[in-house]
C-alpha cells in the first residue's frame, strides 16, 4: 500500500466529525475555456463583481424586455421582506412544536422575524433578511426565508410556507455536513421529506435546524449554491475571521444569464453600440444547443461543484459538473426521470434534445418566461399544444386519432401525456411539489409502475389498474416507441437480465444513461486493477473516453484508470488524455469520479478497494485535498494512524489532532487544534476536541468555555452539549448540566449514553 504523505485522518473520536465534501482542485484560470460573456469582455479578462451593473441599467435601453422580466418568476424570485414579497402569515399566530413555539411576526419597526422559544430558555429571534419564492409555481409553490447570522453567512431558516397546502412545513430530511455523519442521521432524526409542522413534532425534526444551509457555495457547509439570487458569492475573510456574503439581488436578473453588463452599458451610453459589431455582452440567441442549455443549467440541474468561486459570464463547465451527481448515487432513473429529487436536467434525456435541437428557450420565452412555439409565436399558456405541434405538425390534423381523447379536453393536451407533473419522490407527498417531466416521456404503464413512477395515464384514470392501462395503451398505439439503446441496456442490467459486458452502448447518444451505466459497472462489475477486465467493457470505455461530453469522457477515463490501466494501450490512452488541450476541464472530473467511487466502496465496507481508488485519483492530481481527506478517512477505518496535513486546511489540522489524541500525544494534539482555529475560529469540532483535552486534564472551567464556543458556532454538535453537561456536573452545577444535556438530546434524542447521563442527574424523561 502506498503511504501518501499528505493523507489526512478523519477520526470519529469523542463523537467528533469533520465532514468531507468532494471538490476537485479548480483548474487554473489561464486554462479555462472562455464563455461568450468572458469573450465579450476581452481576451484574458476575468469576471469580477465590478463588471456587473444590475437589472435597472439594462432597463434603460431594453424597456420591453425589462418589463417582461420584472413580471416573470425570475424577476419575482425573491427579495427583501415586505408586503409585496411575503405571502406567509407573519401575523403573530404561533407555529407550535412539541418542545418549542415559533412565532412569525412583524415588529413595531417593520422587521419580519421568527421568535423561537423553547422551554426554560431565553427566546431567540431570527430576523428575516431575504425571501425566496412567492408560491407561484404550478404543481406546488413554496416560500422560504433567509437570515444573516453572526458569522456572515445568509442561512435558510427551517420554517417554509406552502401556498398550495396553506401550511407551514419543514424539511425532515437530515442535512449532511452539519452535526453528525450521514449514516447516523437516519437513526437520530426522522426522514419523511417535507411535512406540515404539528404540535407532535420536535423542533429538531427539521433537518435544517439549527439553520445550517447557506446561500452561496462553500466547501464545508451545506448550501443551495448560488441559485437563489444573482451574483452570489460566499467567501471566508481571514482578516475579519468571518464569512462575507456578496449578493446583487434575490431575483434572477439579466446578468445571471447574459453575464456582466458594464462594458456593454458603457458602450451604449457612449453612443457607439450602433456602430460596432462587438456589443461587449453575450448574445444568447447565437449560442449552440448545449451552450444555451448551460446558461439555464447553472441553476436548473443537479450538479457537483468543481470550483465554488463562480460568477455569471464565466464558463460554467469550469465550475460545475452536471453528470457526476450520478456517480455513486442514483437521483435519476435510467431514462432521466427523477428518482429522488431533481430539477429540469431530464431535458438531456429527451428525444427532442438528443435527436433534435430543442433548448429551454424553444418553449420558454427568456424574459417573461411565458410560452411560445419554436418559431417564436406566443402561446396562451403552459398547456398550449402549440409548443409541441410547432415541430410535430403531422399530428395536428388528426390530433384526436393520436391522443384518443376529444380535442380540447384535458387528456388531449400533449403535455398531459408527455410532460406530466410528478411529485418529487424524496419530498414525500404531504406538501405538493410536482414538477413537469422534462424527459418528454412516452407513457408506458407497466414499465413506469416497475420504476415506481406514477404513470401519466394513472394521473387521470386512477380507477384503472396498471395491467388494464397497459392493455389499453397497446390496443390503441400498438408497439410503443423503442427506448434509446443506452437506456434499454441499463434497464436490463439493473433488472439483472443483462451481463456486465452488454451495459455499455457507446454508439447511442445519451450522456445521462452512459454515466449511469458506467457507475453501475463500477459498483457491480469492475474492480481496481482487474487481472482480466471484460474485453467488451474495456472497448466500450475506450470508445466513451473519446465522447464529446466532458463528464462522460472523464468518468470513462476514471473507470479505465481504476480497473484496466495495465491493459495494452490503455495506459497510453490515459497519458494522452492528460496532455489534451482541455485537460484542465477533464482532470478535476476524473479525480472526482474516482473519489466518489472510492466513497461508495468505503460505505459498502470495502476500505481496501477505496484506498486503491483514492490512490488512483492522486496519480492524476497528487495534491487534491478532498482525495487526501477521503484517503485519511479510509486509513482511520482500517486502524492506520499515520497522517500529515495540508497546512491551509483547518479540518486537516483537526483530524491530525484527533489522531495524535488517540495516540496519547495530548500536547501536539492541542497544538494541532489551535492551528485549526487560527485558520477558522468558528470550527466547532476543533473547539469541542480542545475542550475534551481540558476535560480529561480536569480543567472543567476551561473545557466548558471551549464547549460554549463550539455550540455557539455550530449548535447542532450534540456531543459538545453532552460534554459540556458532564463538565458542569463535575463542577457541581446541576442546573446548567441538565440544560446542556437537554440541548444534546434535542439533536440526538435516541442517543442512549446522553439520555443515561441526563436521567442519572435527575432529568425528567423526555415525553
Least confident of 25-34, 132-141, 202-211, 654-663: 25-34
The whole-number average pLDDT for the span 319-347 is 95
Q: CB of 188 within 8 A of CB of 750?
A: yes
pLDDT at 706: 95
Buried/exposed code over 726-757 (b: 16+ C-beta within 10 A; e: otherwise): bbbbeeebeeebbbbbbbbbbbbbebeebbeb
Q: CB of 288 within 8 A of CB of 265?
A: no
CA-wise closest residue to 631 among 618, 648, 649: 618
Per-residue confidence band for 501, with pLDDT thresholds at 50, 70 and 90: low
Residue 705 is assigned to a structural domain of this protein: no
pLDDT at 461: 92
pLDDT higher than threshold 80 for residue 508: yes
Domain boundary among 623, 655, 673: 623
Q: CB of 633 within 8 A of CB of 602?
A: yes
Number of domain units in the chain: 4
Q: Which residue has the higher pLDDT, 679 or 170?
A: 170
Distance (Å, whole) CA 348 – CA 686? 43
Helix (H, G, I), strand (E, B) or coil at 104: strand
Same domain, 460 and 326: yes
Say which residues have a Cβ less than 8 Å from residue 637's Cβ, sequence separation at least 6.
602, 607
Per-residue confidence band for 176, with pLDDT thresholds at 50, 70 and 90: low
pLDDT at 735: 93
Per-residue confidence band for 226, with pLDDT thresholds at 50, 70 and 90: confident
Same domain, 440 and 533: no
The whole-number average pLDDT for the span 166-174 is 92
The whole-number average pLDDT for the span 227-245 is 88
Residue 634 is assigned to a structural domain of this protein: no
DSSP readout, 153-208? -EEE-S-EEETTTTEEEEE-S--TTSSS-HHHHHHHS---SEEE--TTS-GGGSTT
pLDDT at 496: 83
pLDDT at 186: 39
CA-wise closest residue to 531 among 566, 557, 569, 562: 566
Same domain, 326 and 465: yes
Strands (E), 269-393: 304-305, 320-321
pLDDT at 557: 98
pLDDT at 178: 36
Same domain, 119 and 201: yes
Residue 395 is assigned to a structural domain of this protein: yes
Residue 478 is assigned to a structural domain of this protein: no
Helix (H, G, I), strand (E, B) or coil at 541: helix
* Percent of the chain residues past pLDDT 70, beyond the cut: 89
Same domain, 167 and 265: no
Helix (H, G, I), strand (E, B) or coil at 539: helix
The whole-number average pLDDT for the span 107-123 is 90
Same domain, 110 and 130: yes
Residue 268 is assigned to a structural domain of this protein: yes
Say which residues have a Cβ less than 8 Å from residue 130's Cβ, sequence separation at least 6.
78, 79, 80, 81, 145, 146, 147, 154, 215, 229, 250
Same domain, 446 and 343: yes
Domain extent at residue 40: 36-74+254-293
Q: CB of 411 within 8 A of CB of 405?
A: yes
Same domain, 591 and 541: yes
Domain boundary among 602, 623, 644: 623
Domain boundary among 437, 471, 505: 471
Residue 94 is assigned to a structural domain of this protein: yes
pLDDT at 626: 84
pLDDT higher than threshold 70 for residue 12: no
pLDDT at 477: 92
Helix (H, G, I), strand (E, B) or coil at 116: strand
Per-residue confidence band for 498, with pLDDT thresholds at 50, 70 and 90: low
Q: Mapped to the 3 state alphabet, what secondary structure does 403-414 carry?
A: HCCCCCCHHHCH
Distance (Å, whole) CA 66 – CA 60? 9
Same domain, 123 and 190: yes
Residue 513 is assigned to a structural domain of this protein: yes
pLDDT at 45: 58
Q: Mapped to the 3 state alphabet, what secondary structure does 336-386 carry?
A: CCECCCCCCHHHHHCHHHHCCCCCHHHCECCCCCCEECCCCCECCCCCCCH
Q: What angle do CA 174, 178, 182 make, to 5 degrees?
A: 50
Same domain, 331 and 454: yes
pLDDT at 182: 37
Per-residue confidence band for 15, with pLDDT thresholds at 50, 70 and 90: very low
Helix 607-620 / helix 550-564 crossing angle, nearest 10 deg = 120
Same domain, 503 and 436: no
Same domain, 283 and 264: yes
> pLDDT tens for residues 364-409?
999 999 999 999 999 998 999 999 999 999 998 888 999 999 988 9
Q: What is the mean pLDDT of the chain?
A: 87
Per-residue confidence band for 663, with pLDDT thresholds at 50, 70 and 90: low
Residue 678 is assigned to a structural domain of this protein: no
pLDDT higher than threshold 70 for residue 20: no
> pLDDT tens for residues 77-89?
999 999 999 999 9
pLDDT at 548: 94
Amino acid at each position: 500500500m502506498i503511504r501518501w504523505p499528505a493523507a489526512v485522518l478523519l477520526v470519529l473520536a469523542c463523537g467528533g466529525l469533520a465532514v468531507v465534501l468532494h471538490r476537485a482542485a479548480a483548474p487554473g484560470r489561464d486554462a479555462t475555456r472562455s464563455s461568450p460573456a468572458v469573450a465579450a469582455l476581452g481576451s484574458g479578462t476575468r469576471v469580477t463583481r465590478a463588471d456587473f451593473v444590475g437589472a435597472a441599467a439594462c432597463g434603460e435601453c431594453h424597456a420591453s424586455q425589462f418589463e417582461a422580466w420584472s413580471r416573470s418568476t425570475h424577476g419575482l424570485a425573491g427579495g427583501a421582506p415586505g408586503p409585496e414579497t411575503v405571502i406567509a402569515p407573519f401575523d403573530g399566530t404561533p407555529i407550535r412544536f412539541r418542545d418549542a413555539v415559533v412565532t412569525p411576526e412583524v415588529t413595531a419597526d417593520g422587521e419580519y422575524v421568527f421568535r423561537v422559544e423553547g422551554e426554560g430558555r431565553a427566546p431567540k429571534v431570527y430576523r428575516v433578511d431575504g425571501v425566496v419564492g412567492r408560491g407561484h409555481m404550478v404543481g406546488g409553490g413554496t416560500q422560504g426565508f433567509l437570515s444573516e447570522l453572526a458569522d456572515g453567512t445568509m442561512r435558510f431558516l427551517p420554517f417554509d410556507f406552502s401556498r398550495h397546502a396553506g401550511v407551514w412545513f419543514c424539511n425532515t430530511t437530515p442535512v449532511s455536513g452539519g452535526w453528525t455523519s450521514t449514516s447516523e442521521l437516519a437513526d437520530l432524526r426522522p426522514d419523511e421529506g417535507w411535512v406540515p409542522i404539528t404540535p407532535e413534532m420536535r423542533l429538531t425534526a427539521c433537518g435544517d435546524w439549527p439553520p445550517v444551509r447557506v446561500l452561496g457555495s462553500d466547501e464545508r457547509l451545506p448550501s443551495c449554491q448560488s441559485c437563489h439570487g444573482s451574483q452570489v458569492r460566499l467567501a471566508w475573510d481571514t482578516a475579519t475571521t468571518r464569512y462575507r456574503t456578496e449578493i446583487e439581488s434575490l431575483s434572477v436578473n439579466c446578468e445571471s444569464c447574459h453575464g456582466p453588463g458594464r462594458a456593454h452599458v458603457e458602450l451604449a451610453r457612449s453612443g457607439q453600440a450602433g456602430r460596432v459589431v462587438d456589443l461587449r455582452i453575450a448574445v444568447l440567441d447565437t449560442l449552440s444547443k448545449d451552450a444555451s442549455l448551460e446558461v439555464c443549467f447553472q441553476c436548473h440541474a443537479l450538479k457537483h461543484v468543481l470550483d465554488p468561486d463562480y460568477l455569471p459570464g464565466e464558463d460554467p463547465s469550469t465550475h460545475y459538473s452536471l453528470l457526476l451527481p450520478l456517480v455513486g448515487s442514483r437521483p435519476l432513473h435510467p431514462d432521466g426521470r427523477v428518482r429522488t429529487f431533481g430539477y429540469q436536467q431530464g431535458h438531456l434525456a429527451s428525444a427532442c434534445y438528443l435527436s433534435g435541437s430543442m433548448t429551454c428557450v424553444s418553449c420558454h420565452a427568456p424574459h417573461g418566461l411565458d410560452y411560445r412555439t419554436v418559431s417564436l409565436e406566443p402561446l396562451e399558456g403552459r398547456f398550449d399544444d402549440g409548443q409541441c405541434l410547432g415541430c410535430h405538425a403531422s399530428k395536428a390534423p388528426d390530433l384526436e386519432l393520436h391522443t384518443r381523447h376529444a380535442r380540447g379536453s384535458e387528456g388531449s393536451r400533449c403535455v398531459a401525456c408527455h410532460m406530466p407533473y410528478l411529485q418529487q419522490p424524496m419530498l414525500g407527498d404531504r406538501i405538493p411539489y410536482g414538477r413537469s417531466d422534462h424527459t418528454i416521456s412516452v407513457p408506458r404503464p407497466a414499465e413506469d409502475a416497475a420504476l415506481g413512477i406514477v404513470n401519466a395515464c394513472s394521473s387521470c384514470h386512477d380507477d384503472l389498474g396498471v395491467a388494464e392501462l397497459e392493455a389499453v395503451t397497446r390496443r390503441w398505439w400498438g408497439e410503443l416507441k423503442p427506448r434509446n439503446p443506452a437506456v434499454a441496456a441499463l434497464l436490463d442490467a439493473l433488472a439483472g437480465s443483462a451481463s456486465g459486458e452488454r451495459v455499455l452502448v457507446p454508439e447511442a447518444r445519451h450522456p445521462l444513461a452512459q454515466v449511469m451505466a458506467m457507475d453501475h459497472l463500477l459498483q457491480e462489475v469492475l474492480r481496481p486493477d482487474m487481472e482480466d477486465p471484460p474485453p467488451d467493457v474495456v472497448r466500450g470505455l475506450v470508445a466513451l473516453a473519446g465522447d464529446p461530453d466532458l463528464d462522460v469522457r472523464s468518468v470513462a477515463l476514471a473507470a479505465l484508470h481504476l480497473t484496466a490501466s495495465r491493459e495494452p494501450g490503455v495506459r497510453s490512452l490515459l497519458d494522452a488524455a492528460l496532455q489534451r488541450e482541455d485537460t484542465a476541464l477533464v482532470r478535476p472530473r476524473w479525480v472526482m469520479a474516482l473519489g466518489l467511487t472510492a466513497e461508495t466502496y468505503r460505505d459498502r465496507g470495502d476500505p481496501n478497494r477505496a484506498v486503491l481508488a483514492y490512490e488512483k485519483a492522486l496519480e492524476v492530481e497528487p495534491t487534491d485535498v478532498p482525495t487526501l481527506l477521503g484517503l485519511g478517512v479510509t486509513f482511520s477505518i482500517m486502524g492506520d494512524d499515520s497522517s500529515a496535513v495540508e497546512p491551509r486546511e483547518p479540518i486537516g489540522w483537526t483530524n491530525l489532532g484527533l489522531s495524535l489524541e488517540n495516540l496519547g500525544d495530548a500536547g501536539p494534539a492541542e497544538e494541532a487544534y489551535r492551528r485549526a482555529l487560527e485558520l477558522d475560529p468558528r470550527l466547532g469540532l476543533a473547539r469541542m476536541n480542545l475542550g475534551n483535552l481540558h476535560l480529561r486534564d480536569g480543567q472543567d472551567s476551561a473545557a466548558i468555555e471551549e464547549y460554549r464556543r463550539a455550540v455557539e458556532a455550530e449548535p447542532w454538535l450534540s456531543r459538545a452539549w453532552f460534554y459540556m453537561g458532564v463538565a458542569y456536573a463535575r463542577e457541581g452545577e446541576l442546573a446548567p448540566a441538565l440544560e446542556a444535556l437537554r440541548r444534546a438530546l434535542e439533536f440526538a434524542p435516541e442517543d442512549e449514553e446522553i439520555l443515561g447521563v441526563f436521567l442519572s442527574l435527575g432529568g425528567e424523561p423526555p415525553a
